Structures are given as C-alpha cells and as structure tokens.
Amino acid sequence: TSPVPIAPGDHGTAVAPLVPELPPLAVARLRFTVRMQQRLDLPAYAGSLLRSVFGAALRAGACITGQPTCAGCPAAPRCADTVACDTPAQPTTLSSQPMSVPNPYVIEPPPMGSLAVPAGGMLVFHMVLIGETTQHSLPLVMRAWQRALRSGLGQTRATGELVSVRDLDVRDPAAAYLFRTDAPPRPTAVPTRLNLAALSTTMPAARSGTRQVTLEFQTPLRLQREARILRAEELTPRTLVSHLMRRINLMLDIHLGAPPAPNDIHALLTLADTLRDDRSALHWHDMRRYSARQQQAVPLSGL
C-alpha cells in the first residue's frame, strides 16, 4: 500500500505530499494456469518448489556454458538466464552500493496450505515481471515453464500442461490472454513475438481520509539486518518503510532504468516513527525445504 497523504493537524504541522505521481512502470502481473496430468502433492509453501523447477528449466534452455552457478560466469552480463533468473550484484546510481540485488521477477505461489492438485485439476500461480528486458524474455520464460511441466513437479514428478497465461491488468478477456490452448485457434507453440505495450502498471492514488492500513504477509517474510533475520519485535514501521524504499529504488535503478523514487526518505521515516502499529498477530513461522542442488535442508522460516 502506498503511503497516504497526511492532513494538516495530524501531527501538529502540515506535511508536503511525499508521493508525487509516477509514470506507468513496466511491471506486469501474469496468471499462469496449468492442467495437471497427474496428482501433484505440494509442500505447505509451494513457492520454493516452483522457483526451483523454473530456475532449473530456464538454465537448461538458456545456459551456454554449463556452469553450475551464474557467479563468475563470463557470459553472465549477456545471458538471458541471468536476466530472468539470477541478477548479479552490480554498481548502481544509489549512494550506498548493495551487496545483492533483487531479481526482476516474483513468483506468487498458490495459497499456503493448498496441499494437492488432482489429475485433471488446475494449478494456478502468478508471476510479476519487472522491466522491459524481462518482459521481452517472456517467450523464454513460458518455454521454461513448459519444459519444467514436461519434466514433472514435486517428488512424484507429476507432469502438466500450460493452459494459459493472462495479463491481469487487462480487463478485456479477448486481449488479456498472452497464451491460451483452451480456445480456438489452438496455438502450435509459444509465440515468439508478444504485444508488450500493455504490460505496465500505474500506482493508484491513496484514498483520502485513510487512517489505517493492514498488511498481511501471505508467505514468510524474511528481512535481514547484518545477516540476521528480523523477528516481530524488530519489525517497526520505520524498519519496514526503510526496507521497502531500498527495494523499490533498486528495482527502479537496475530493472526499470528509472531514477530513485521522488520521495523525501527522511520525511517518510520521520512519519513512520509517529505511526502506532499492532504486531500482536505477527508470529514466527518455522519452515524448511530440501535443496537438491545444495544436498541439504534450507531454512525458509519468517514472519
């Protein structure tokens, strides 16, 4: 949720608008629908499974060196796999240089606790693609999902078929589908050219008079400070705003080619310090997954 304008008198003084209107950004949220050919048993948090099979399939279709990781690969700066999967650390225009940067996509898994999809049932998940370079890699991304589904998901290697990819920002059903096999004419392959003009989003204006915002973390939130995961008592409004601004500015700088968000960060943090927050429903959730690549259990615990 974007920061809301503070009316005069809320804190004793009038505060200048902190969220100037931004132009549309090359950010697209796509819905992937898969028809499972065999029963798929999902872990409680399916995000790690989807991320793992997608990364492996993308590498299989794009990697030209065969190296086990992207780190240190001489082809990394020009590699489609790196663009869509594993963004390396790089210089930015920001004052503090990050040790790591976010990838230009996010996989949104099914809700936690969706444990099984029967044969013939639909597996639905979403991807957010950030930046024109990533969006132009969409055919590669779709082929990677098709390859992953042919290889199979989960311990039983359940196979499936990609049925459709829909842009959720386009309301017209006829124009929203970027790929569809359940409606004529049936495509014979993933399209190699896509109309990407509509794959952008505009931040909605905050509603005037907003007095309260509720944030629901649908998957474990893992924010770090000095290589340590923050607990509930440490997740103050100031800490959350600070981490959000860092991520927003890294996305703008590296993946969207835009200047940092035109906000007064010091004023935002000052306002964050004045907020009253209720973290009584926030709790630590223990979770682990097994990494076949690392041959060990990997923690996924968070808030």
The DSSP result for 21-81, as a single string, is: ----BSEEEEEEEEEESS-EEPPSSTHHHHHHHHHHHHHHHH-SS--SSSTT-TTGGG-HH
pTM: 0.79
Q: Among 47-51, 100-104, 112-116, 194-198, which stretch is predicted with the lowest mean pLDDT?
A: 194-198
User: What is the longest distance spanned by two Cα atoms in the chain?
Assistant: 64
Count the neighbouring beta carbons within 10 Å of the beta carbon of residue 288: 14
According to the model, what pLDDT value does residue 126 have? 95
According to the model, what pLDDT value does residue 21 have? 61
The average confidence (pLDDT) of the chain is 79
- Answer yes or no: are the C-beta atoms of 123 and 36 closer than 8 Å: yes
According to the model, what pLDDT value does residue 14 have? 40
166 has a pLDDT exceeding 70? yes
According to the model, what pLDDT value does residue 48 have? 86
Which strand (E) or helix (H) includes residue 96? Answer: none
d(C-alpha 55, C-alpha 253), whole Å:
24
Exposure string for 199-235, b = 16+ CB within 10 A, e = fewer:
beeeeeeeeeeeeeeeeeeebbbebeeeeebbeeeeb
d(C-alpha 142, C-alpha 185), whole Å:
19
According to the model, what pLDDT value does residue 68 have? 67
Q: Among 109-113, 124-128, 154-158, 296-300, which stretch is predicted with the lowest mean pLDDT?
A: 296-300
149 has a pLDDT exceeding 50? yes
150 has a pLDDT exceeding 90? yes
How do residues 50-88 score in pLDDT, each as one tens digit? Answer: 988 998 888 887 777 777 666 677 776 666 555 555 666
- Answer yes or no: are the C-beta atoms of 130 and 152 closer than 8 Å: no
According to the model, what pLDDT value does residue 9 have? 38
